[in-house]
Amino acid sequence: MKTRLLVALMGILLCTGCLAAWSQSLRGSKRTEAEYYIAEYGQHYQVPPELVRAFIQRESDWRPCAISQKGAVGLMQLMPLTAKRLGVRDRCDIKQNISGGVRYLAWLCHLFRGDYRLVVAAYYAGEEIVGRRGLAYRNPDVINYVQGIRKIYLQQPSAETNSQTEAPQ
């Protein structure tokens, strides 16, 4: 009985160590990998890298396998149905998550004609409700989220000087 308990406790400790590693923010080569995909997919889909970084910072704090209470996973916190729609099979995979998140942002940019306020609100609350209500959608959580993304976006040096890119409002 004591042996089983000891083995179970060791398993819990090992799993806790694994979870701690997954919950840490990206550093070193993994952060470089993420930045590479942000630049590549951002350029390809015409989504400002500063906007992608703002989402990653706000959504996951750069943790590649962060899991929200609502079931969103990864750097860009993709929900299961959104990930499936975008062909993302492993939401913890840096490349797949950023690819899916950037493609979703590009689609939202097209849907909302480049109005980053609506794009950011739809990323958080869903495109259906924001599409129906537009700027009349005044949920305090959504307003705070949009303001938070805008603040992070503007804190990035290139976002302030890039005349082709407007900040989300």
Contact 98, 52 (CB under 8 A): yes
Side chain identity at residue 112, one-letter code: F
Residue located via tokens 């000087």: 161
* Phi/psi of residue 5, nearest 5 degrees: -65, -45
Name 111's Cβ contacts closer than 8 Å, sequence gap at least 6.
122, 127, 131
Q: Which residue of the set 59, 127, 128, 166 is catalytic?
A: 59
Q: How far is CA 156 from CA 18, 51, 52, 159, in A?
A: 32, 9, 11, 5
Instruction: Name residue 78's beta-bridge partners.
Output: 73
- Cα–Cα dist 51/62, whole Å: 14
* Whether residue 59 lies in the annotated active site: yes
Helix (H, G, I), strand (E, B) or coil at 67: strand
Task: Indicate the length of the chain as a whole number.
Answer: 169
Active-site annotation, residues: 59
